[in-house]
């Protein structure tokens, strides 16, 4: 039985390092990391997780969008493992919206992200996938791939005024189910 891992918190060096490409998809080590990520994310209210958040510098993310107050039309998806994910913006259009992060509890901020992106990754069965993601799912994907570059969402905030405490965020939106 796999136990949830401790989630690295802001200040941990591992959150500021580049993650490595996964070249052996069928290795037991990679399978173990994926299992630990799935178990860890399931134990939280998060909608995404990147391997560096459980102190593994591998290019693996999980995206687990579900509808929420700000994005009622966000798809409810089975948590999806994405290995070696990359993306390109479909247009330069960015949108600012709120993000939180399991590695930065207690804080929310407005973050500009591309609205629509074309993504490529390898799924957990080793199949290459290419698809277009929009809005909330595109936001989660960009947040998680930033973690693979040693970036956190606060690095992308345009002004300190866009950072608020989670308690104030809850007064605005009354929920906290969307940490990434
Ligand atoms: Zn995060």
150 within a domain of the structure (yes/no): yes
47 within a domain of the structure (yes/no): yes
pLDDT greater than 70 at residue 177: no
- CATH (domain of 23): 3.90.45.10
pLDDT greater than 80 at residue 179: no
Contact 136, 117 (CB under 8 A): no
pLDDT greater than 90 at residue 80: yes
Which domain, by its residues, includes 55?
13-173
Calculate the CA 166 to chain-centre distance.
18
DSSP 102: T
* 49: β partners: 62
48 alpha carbon to ligand 1 midpoint, in Å?
7
Q: Are strands 116-122 and 128-134 parallel, antiparallel or unpaired?
A: antiparallel
121 within a domain of the structure (yes/no): yes
Note the pLDDT of residue 35: 97
Domain count within the chain: 1
65 alpha carbon to ligand 1 midpoint, in Å?
14
7 within a domain of the structure (yes/no): no
Q: Helix count (H) and strand count (E) of the chain?
A: 3, 8
DSSP assignment string, 41-54: HHTSS-SEEEGGGG
- Summarize pLDDT for 109-152 with one digit per residue, the tens: 999 999 999 999 999 999 999 999 999 999 999 999 999 999 99
178 within a domain of the structure (yes/no): no
Asked if 144 is an active-site residue, the reply is: yes
Contact 48, 140 (CB under 8 A): yes
100 alpha carbon to ligand 1 midpoint, in Å?
7
5 within a domain of the structure (yes/no): no
Phi, psi of 145 (to 5 degrees): -70, -30
Name which residue leads in pLDDT, 68 or 115: 115
pLDDT class of 154 with cuts at 50, 70, 90: very high
24 within a domain of the structure (yes/no): yes
Rounded mean pLDDT of the chain?
93
Q: Which of 88, 95, 99, 144 is catalytic?
A: 144
The contacts of residue 47 (CB under 8 Å, 6+ apart) are 63, 64, 65, 66, 68, 140, 177, 178, 179, 180
63 alpha carbon to ligand 1 midpoint, in Å?
11
42 alpha carbon to ligand 1 midpoint, in Å?
15
What pTM, to 2 d.p., does this model score? 0.94
pLDDT class of 74 with cuts at 50, 70, 90: confident
SS3 labels along 64-80: CCCCCCCCCCCCCCCCE
Note the pLDDT of residue 77: 87
Q: Which of 96-100, 120-124, 170-174 has the lowest mean pLDDT?
A: 170-174
Q: Is 76 exposed, middle or buried (0-12, 13-18, 19+ CB in 10 A)?
A: exposed
Please tell me the distance from the alpha carbon of residue 104 to that of residue 114, in angstroms, as a whole number: 22
The H-or-E segment that residue 84 falls in is strand 80-89
- Summarize pLDDT for 29-67 with one digit per residue, the tens: 999 999 999 999 999 878 999 999 999 999 999 999 887
pLDDT class of 70 with cuts at 50, 70, 90: low
In 18-132, which residue ranges form alpha helices assigned H by DSSP?
A: 28-42
154 within a domain of the structure (yes/no): yes
pLDDT greater than 80 at residue 71: no
């Amino acid at each position: 039985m796999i136990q949830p891992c401790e989630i690295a918190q802001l200040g941990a060096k591992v959150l500021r390092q580049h993650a490595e490409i996964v070249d052996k998809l069928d290795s037991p080590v990679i399978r173990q990391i994926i299992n630990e990520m799935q178990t860890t994310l399931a134990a939280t209210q998060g909608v995404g997780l990147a391997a560096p958040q459980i102190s593994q510098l591998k290019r693996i993310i999980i995206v687990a969008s579900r509808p929420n107050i700000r994005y009622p039309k966000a798809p409810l998806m089975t948590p999806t493992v994405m290995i070696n994910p990359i993306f390109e913006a479909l247009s330069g259009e960015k949108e600012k919206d709120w993000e939180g992060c399991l590695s930065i509890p207690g804080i929310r901020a407005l973050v500009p992200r591309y609205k629509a992106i074309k993504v490529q990754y390898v799924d957990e069965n080793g199949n290459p996938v290419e698809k277009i993601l929009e809005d909330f799912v595109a936001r989660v994907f960009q947040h998680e791939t930033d973690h693979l570059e040693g970036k956190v969402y606060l690095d992308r905030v345009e002004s300190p005024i866009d950072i608020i405490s989670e308690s104030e965020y809850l007064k605005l939106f009354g929920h906290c189910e969307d940490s990434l």
